Chains A and B, each alone.
Chain A
């Protein structure tokens, strides 16, 4: 199993550019999520989804869009990149039972630099 696959691993953008971080999982997990990790801040939830067609905002959603058209894919879109979005982004997935999230499986991360 590939698990959770994120692309690209590294990206440099200029302020104002847009891009999409891709995330795919092959474990048939209902729950998928995006986090950003900044030094001294820990992991912070950006957006999450509990199934195809369902998304919701996390702690830091501003400047990001998501969609969930299939169970496998959960792309994260940066609409107009800003230097404050320089970070390492992690996608994670898990099963979902009765409103509770199971063990999270993380991707290897996407390191984004906005100049």
Chain B
């Protein structure tokens, strides 16, 4: 069964610290992996999209990594800010011509405290 598992479920860190969020998937075939940020009460916003051949992709203080062999991805946040408090959602696209084949993780809720 196609699944996307994220860990931890929630995380609290102090402002200025770094953190890493994990995403493991069993989706096959694989087309790409995406990370989204969802602020409370808002819609998700795309952070990165990585294809099979991409190992690392950065967007400002956000760096995503992908290991297609082990089917794992991580999102590293550097020098966290209060505005980083949000849920982070990992989404894997199964491709294969099926437009509905986007598998969503349940998200990691990050709280950044002053």
Contact = CB atoms under 8 A, between A and B. Distances in A.
B34 A109 contact: no
B46 A104 contact: yes
B98 to A, nearest CB: 7
Nearest to B41: A109
Interface stretch (B16-24, B61-69, B73-81, B100-108): B100-108
Instruction: Using C-beta atoms within 8 Å of the partner chain, give the interface range for chain A.
Output: 20 to 34
Interface stretch (A11-19, A44-52, A68-76): A44-52
A53 to B, nearest CB: 15
Contact of B106 (A42, A56, A100): A42
Contact of A44 (B43, B95, B96, B104): B104
A17 B65 CA distance: 47
Per DSSP, chain A at the interface is strand
Interface size class on chain B is: 20 to 34
A110 to B, nearest CB: 10
Nearest to B107: A42
B45 A106 contact: yes
Interface string A38-71: 0011111100101000001111000000000000
Identify which of A44, A99, A107 gathers the most chain B CB atoms within 10 Å of its CB: A99
Interface string B31-58: 1101010000111111001000000000
Nearest to B48: A103
Contact of B102 (A45, A90, A98): A45
Given A43-B89, A56-B100, A108-B42, A103 B106 contact: no
B34 A107 contact: no
A103 B99 contact: no
Contacts of B45: 106
B60 interface: no
Interface in A79-93: 90, 92
A54 B100 CA distance: 13
B89 A42 contact: yes
A30 to B, nearest CB: 9
9 contacts: A40-B106, A41-B106, A42-B105, A43-B89, A59-B100, A102-B49, A104-B91, A106-B43, A106-B44
